[in-house]
Structure 1
Amino acid sequence: MEANILTAVFLPLALVIIMLGMGLSLTPAHFRAIFVAPRPILVGLALQLVALPSLAWLLAWALQMPPALAVGLVLIAACPGGATSNLISHLARADAALSITLTALSSLVIIFSLPFVVNAASLFFMEAGQNVSLSVPKTILQIVVVTVIPVSIGMWLRSKSPERADRAERSVKVLSALFLALVIAGILVGERDNLLRFFMLVGVATLLLNLGSMLLGYVGGRLARLPVAQVRTVVIEVGIQNGTMAIAVATAPTLLNNSSMAIPAAIYSLIMFVSGAVLIAMGNRNTWTVAETP
């Protein structure tokens, strides 16, 4: 998977638009929720930021993946949920407010956690002299630019005019979805000759990671005795990752600059749309079996 203008320019731009749209839907109350009702938020963050990267690490080691692909698998697991998880939560009749809060908080935490997790994976899986590393200050700065700043601008706009923010949010969501679809379509067309090879390389690992992540969310939610809507949200947030961010980090010349590390994120993104559609169908058919608890 070669870096090109789509991955170097338009992919980060799509991420900025997506994060701006998220900011337009956020208020300070979403962040205060962690103090008012911390249990579902802490469960979701622990699963997403600790359990999921650990699962990816274990799968990469157990399947003896090539070093760059192993690091790429850990990379997609270390990224937060994205706007896609918020949309799926809404369509699956999950707790949309919890979804937005988890996405926003995890997006803030990974500013600091992602470079350390990826660098540790690189040291573990890659041979001496071949390992790559993320510059912590540079990574933090670039993630701040494409996530925190757009979210902050969106929140500021909402604070000034909630009505206009609501209208703008709908437009930005449509724009970001179309823009991201065009970018992904462009990448798929450009890599059409390699897609089968990519699936052969990482298909099993990414499928197991996606299914395993959702199982983690389900079991974790049940053990925490969360209400059914919140269990749905945790399953979605842990299983639906920000593939846009992972590909951008892997291919950016100033970050990892390793196109092979983007392959797991690209394939995972395709798989998670399928599993997301299944979760939406389950939510609308009320096939979840979690008992409602206060």
Structure 2
Amino acid sequence: MDSALSTVGLPLALGIIMFGLGLSLTPDDFRRVSRHPRAVVVALACQLLLLPAVCFGLVLLFDLPPLLGIGMMLLAASPGGTSANLFSHLFHGDVALNVTLTAINSVIAIFTLPIITNLAIAWFDREDSVSLQFRKVVEVFAVVLLPVLLGMLVRARRAAFAARMDKPVRIGSAVILAILVIAILLDQRENVGDYLADVGLATAVFCAVSLVVGYVIPKAAGIVESQAIASSMEIGVHNGTLAIYVAVEVLDSTEISVPAAVYSLFMFVFAAAWGYVLSRRIGAPART
């Protein structure tokens, strides 16, 4: 990938997205766990334990090449994206739960993302070519957490400004991710046909399974409808920008970023379609 895009554009894009997330957060979002413990625990268990297991099964089932397999596991380890909140709002989910889950999982991912990714690297015996070292982990999450904290500070000091910026930042985040996806596919244009053949079906199945599991498991655990919808969107809509950043900037491999890019192509379409199905099921029209 073009060096200017990877060294300047990617960190800046991720910083903007995480700053936007911070604008929607308050300390009470972290305290809310005590008020909805079951919903939070079930959703996090799905996201942190079940999803990586499902993803690894798909990697084996589709016999993915090593770098694409590592990219799939990196994607599975990435927390929910800011767009999950938007989809949850559109389809009558508990947006407050989404915000809480995104906040908590973004912090937990400091530990789980490198563990899962390094396990995948070890499984494919690629330590010689890619690695996710502790120093790099600290750098990544400085890029992730510092903008979030800055956004929270702005929210605390300038609540009206934070409210005005909410929609533009969400739209901007989606545009940034789209630009990154296009850039990756252009960078890998000579191999994109092979990549889509290798990982297209796997990412599509993973996206669909993530959305359905994120709804069905909470419902089976007795979680109310709005929180199950929120969980579904949180688990199905990943922070693709973070996955792409780690792949390109930390692991120095555009190929590892391909699953996140391809997943993102399916993610918005599948989330919208699934949200529509859920809205029809509960007899409530989607918000516009």
Q: Flag whether TM exceeds 0.5 (same fold).
A: yes
| TM-score, with length taken from structure 1 | 0.89
Q: Deviations for 1:120-175, whole angstroms, at most 9, x for unmatched residues?
A: 11111236x64522002321x22322221111111111111222221233343344
TM-superposed deviation, 1:209: 1.1
Q: Which aligned pairs between 1:149-160 and structure 2 lie closer than 5 A?
A: 149-160=146-157
Distance (whole Å) between structure 1 residues aligned to residue 80 and residue 256 of structure 2: 19
Note closer, same or farther for the CA distance 1:74–1:186 as it changes in structure 2 (3 Å cut). closer
**Match of 2:243?**
246
1:278 and 2:273 matched: yes
3-state SS in 1 of match to 2:25: coil
- C-alpha RMSD of the superposition: 2.0
Aligned residue type for 2:210: S
**Match of 2:192?**
195
Answer yes or no: is the 8 Å Cα contact 1:122–1:131 preserved in 2. Answer: no
Q: Deviations for 1:79-107, whole angstroms, at most 9, x for unmatched residues?
A: 00111111111112211111111111111
Distance (whole Å) between structure 2 residues aligned to residue 260 and residue 20 of structure 1: 27
Q: Deviations for 1:235-272, whole angstroms, at most 9, x for unmatched residues?
A: 111111111111110111xx211221111111111111
Aligned residue type for 2:281: T
TM-superposed deviation, 1:222: 1.4
Distance (whole Å) between structure 2 residues aligned to residue 74 and residue 158 of structure 1: 34
Residue-pair matches, total: 283
Matching residue within 212, 215, 219 for 2:212: 215
| TM-score, with length taken from structure 2 | 0.91
Distance (whole Å) between structure 1 residues aligned to residue 237 and residue 141 of structure 2: 21
Answer yes or no: is the 8 Å Cα contact 2:83–2:170 preserved in 1. Answer: no
**Match of 1:287?**
281
**Match of 1:259?**
254
**Match of 1:173?**
170
Aligned residue type for 1:55: V
**Match of 2:286?**
none
1:51 and 2:45 matched: no
Distance (whole Å) between structure 2 residues aligned to residue 171 and residue 211 of structure 1: 28
Matching residue within 120, 134, 137 for 2:135: 137
TM-superposed deviation, 1:227: 0.8
TM-superposed deviation, 1:206: 0.8
Answer yes or no: is the 8 Å Cα contact 2:181–2:264 preserved in 1. Answer: no
TM-superposed deviation, 1:66: 1.0
**Match of 2:16?**
17
Aligned residue type for 2:134: V
The sequence identity of aligned pairs, in percent, is 39
TM-superposed deviation, 1:109: 0.5
TM-superposed deviation, 1:3: 5.5
Q: Deviations for 1:45-73, whole angstroms, at most 9, x for unmatched residues?
A: 11111111111111112222111111111
Structure 2, gaps ≥5 residues long: 284-288
**Match of 1:292?**
none
Greater alpha carbon shift after TM alignment, 273-282 vs 74-83: 273-282
Note closer, same or farther for the CA distance 1:178–1:70 as it changes in structure 2 (3 Å cut). closer
Distance (whole Å) between structure 2 residues aligned to residue 154 and residue 281 of structure 1: 31
Distance (whole Å) between structure 1 residues aligned to residue 119 and residue 148 of structure 2: 28
